[in-house]
Structure 1
Amino acid sequence: MEQVEMDMGLSDIRGSLEVVKMKRERKSSGGKYADDKTLSKKRQWEDDSDSLGVVKKALVVLTRLPDYKISALRPPTPLQFYSEDESLSTSESDSNLEPGNKSSGSDLSKLKNKRNTEICSKCSTRRTAVQNNNKIEPAPIIISTAFALCADETRNVRPDLPEQEVAVDMMVLARKKHMRWQRGKILEILTREDGRLKYKVSFEEKGKSLVSGHHIAYDNTPKLEQLYVGARVVVSCSENKFHFQTGILAELPSRKNRLRFLVFTDDHVPLYVGLPSLHLVCRPLENSLEDLPDSPHKSFMTRYLRDWPYPHLTQYKAGQNINVEFNGVQQRCEVKLVDSSLIQVVFQDDQQKEWIHRGSTRLEHMIRILKLRELEEEKNDSD
């Protein structure tokens, strides 16, 4: 019995000594055992993550967007004013499909075919197609967009600048006959009973005339800040450089017209000219259009200045056949050149060439759209 108790006591002592020995070894090793355990756990975690990486591999799936989403992502286009064409969209267009509508491919093709059929039938009744050499020519689009962005390029109000002096012995351009001005010298300035001034001019090419202030123009070149759309100007005649014609300034220089001035002479002829070709009328009427005789040209200029800087222009391409009024009759022409707001046409009958403004009422398409606008305005007024 005593021997057994002694053996148990010795075993306890040995166990205590082993525990003390382990603690000393752990302390002397600086926690190496704990570090080994941590490293083993880290390796195990890396092995697990490597195994998971094989399973969770990233995939890229390309899906074609439906047409309604593609239409929504497109940037908006500027508003256009159409003459014979309408917007190519109908109430049943596939761009109006709801996102949740799961239409099959066959349904979409049927819907598109139906839309194309409706568009074709509408175009056949609303647009003119002329067959020439087995070629069908669509009617042009009438657009109405801002002519320019800079205020100096769209100025249509007379600048508030001091008037230049008009004195005796001053060289001017004066009206000798209708649509014919010449260079001359002011001999005398007369004051009428009603207070109006009259200028007696002696022309270089013989003759004298007594004219009003809006029938004389400065002989010198004007400054750019003096000019504006709607200004009454005089330009040299193309047939004779010593003769001049009056007109209305219709465009100021911009990148769209390659830094030129557009002038409509009083006989509805459009001209692109440079600054040295312009001469300002000395004392223009408050409304320059009052100096024009009643005619289709006056109606055109009234509408043009009212719509500025959003004039209506037809869009043509070189080689296109169109109808243009000449001597009161619509005649067949071919577009030869397009120069900014002008087109050069060649009449088929006599091969005569002429420059015409793309918004002129001599164009058959422009006449049609103006009639449609008048009908719409009358309808709106009645409503």
Structure 2
Amino acid sequence: MADSPRESVPSRKKTPSKRTRLENGSDSLRLIKKAVVVLTRLPEYKISALRPPTPQQFYSEDEVLSSSDSDMQWEPEGDSSDSDFVASNKQKTAKPKKSDTTRPPPAAPTGSNNNNNNMNQVTPIIISSAFAYCSHETTKVRPNLPEEEVKVDMMVLARKKPMRWQRGKIVETVTKEDGRVKYKVSFEEKGKSLVSGHHIAFDPTPKLEQLYVGARVVVQCQDNKFWFQPGVLAELPSRKNRLRFLVFLDDHTPVYVGLPLLHLVCRPLEDVLEDLPDSFHKHFMKRYLKDWPYPHLTQYRAGQSLNVELTGVQQRCEVQVVDCSLIQVVFQDNQQKEWIHRGSLRLEHMARFLELKAGEERKDDSE
């Protein structure tokens, strides 16, 4: 056995040698073990399913914009000289990685103002972004649920003026000769009013399954808790909007609110837009609901300059804050601050983009 060419086994009492010798007269061989790590990338749908909703303080605007694989970038066709909507940096047309989007932009060299001016003058990209991960979040169809009863002595929110609804009690139900039902409401503050079913809202908080994009709602005013304003529900809670509801008030003001501030209109019209006055807001809402869940949005960054319509005139302003689908701007002339939707027709870039898009649609129809 001693003459057999077997590998020598070191004693357990000794430290094993790093070099193993073969006793067959050949050169010694050194065996080196290397650890190998194999990484397997999970599909995006598995990553989304495993990723819990992220609180607002840990969520950046860039992550909101890039978290959906279905985001589509819109650029006008034709020569680049005619484009007002594509940023000069062509790399922005590709979807950025999260590791890149969370980094702040590099600081400009001291004494160099040209770079800052160029950044402010860069025109935004128009994108069409999916706002949900589940099918029920994208719906804009009223759910088929039984209607809640509206009866005497019920507390409701009723219209007192077009943009002023107040809490009151139904004291009488009136049926007109043509069959229409009216409700006489006695307001808590003072006064009475005879209103239709689409001008009263339930006082209790609605259930989630009752809400959908396009629903007619009433929102509690932030400045006066006894004052409520009508609007149309525009976004359901998702990771895109940090789990909030977006509502467009009838005066075109966009607001993010929580469920406790929402109230569902009792008997909405078949077409809720018929309840809106004829204005650019009604035109905007018609296009918004048509495009949902892929609304057109402009991409802006804090510090960027742009033109926004104010009292019928395009005025220069600067972006102060970007909050999901909204931006807060400050006008240069009077330092007035205002929240504006990133798809609003008041934005010069969006208005011109839609003009080009409408022209292309007319051209396609004619052909």
TM-score by length of 1: 0.68
The answer on 1:261 being equivalent to 2:234 is: no
Contact conserved, 2:302 with 2:320, CA < 8 A, in 1?
yes
The whole-number CA distance in structure 2 between the counterparts of 1:151 and 1:80 is 18
Distance verdict in 2 for CA 1:140–1:154, change over 3 Å: same
Identity in percent: 72
The whole-number CA distance in structure 2 between the counterparts of 1:375 and 1:252 is 32
Q: Which residue matches 1:322? A: 306
Displacement of 1:216 in angstroms is 0.3
Q: Which residue matches 2:324? A: 340
Q: Which residue matches 1:293? A: 277
Q: Which residue matches 1:126? A: 83
Q: Which residue matches 2:226? A: 242
**Of the candidates 338, 361, 366, which is equivalent to residue 354 of structure 1?**
338
Matched residue type, 1:80: M
The whole-number CA distance in structure 2 between the counterparts of 1:352 and 1:152 is 38
Distance verdict in 2 for CA 1:295–1:133, change over 3 Å: farther
Which 5+ residue runs of structure 2 have no aligned equivalent?
A: 1-23, 28-68, 89-111
The whole-number CA distance in structure 2 between the counterparts of 1:299 and 1:192 is 32
**Of the candidates 263, 270, 278, which is equivalent to residue 262 of structure 2?**
278
Q: Which residue matches 1:226? A: 210
Matched residue type, 1:312: H
* Higher RCO (CA < 8 A, seq sep 6+): 2
Q: Which residue matches 2:74? A: 82
Displacement of 1:125 in angstroms is 3.9
Distance verdict in 2 for CA 1:125–1:195, change over 3 Å: closer
The whole-number CA distance in structure 1 between the counterparts of 2:331 and 2:287 is 27
Contact conserved, 1:141 with 1:315, CA < 8 A, in 2?
yes
The whole-number CA distance in structure 2 between the counterparts of 1:200 and 1:78 is 48
Which 5+ residue runs of structure 1 have no aligned equivalent?
A: 1-45, 51-76, 88-121
The whole-number CA distance in structure 2 between the counterparts of 1:337 and 1:261 is 19
The whole-number CA distance in structure 2 between the counterparts of 1:246 and 1:80 is 32
Displacement of 1:151 in angstroms is 1.7
The whole-number CA distance in structure 2 between the counterparts of 1:195 and 1:133 is 69
RMSD (CA atoms): 2.2
TM-score by length of 2: 0.71
Contact conserved, 1:219 with 1:279, CA < 8 A, in 2?
yes
Instruction: Decide which structure has the larger Cα Rg and report it.
Output: 1
Contact conserved, 1:83 with 1:365, CA < 8 A, in 2?
no
The whole-number CA distance in structure 2 between the counterparts of 1:80 and 1:252 is 20
Contact conserved, 2:84 with 2:349, CA < 8 A, in 1?
no
The whole-number CA distance in structure 1 between the counterparts of 2:84 and 2:250 is 33
The whole-number CA distance in structure 2 between the counterparts of 1:283 and 1:348 is 43
**Of the candidates 138, 155, 160, which is equivalent to residue 139 of structure 2?**
155
Q: Which residue matches 2:350? A: 366
The answer on 1:215 being equivalent to 2:199 is: yes
The answer on 1:206 being equivalent to 2:206 is: no
Displacement of 1:79 in angstroms is 6.5
Distance verdict in 2 for CA 1:380–1:79, change over 3 Å: farther
Displacement of 1:124 in angstroms is 4.1
Partner secondary structure for residue 361 of structure 1: coil
Greater helix content: 1
Matched residue type, 1:287: D
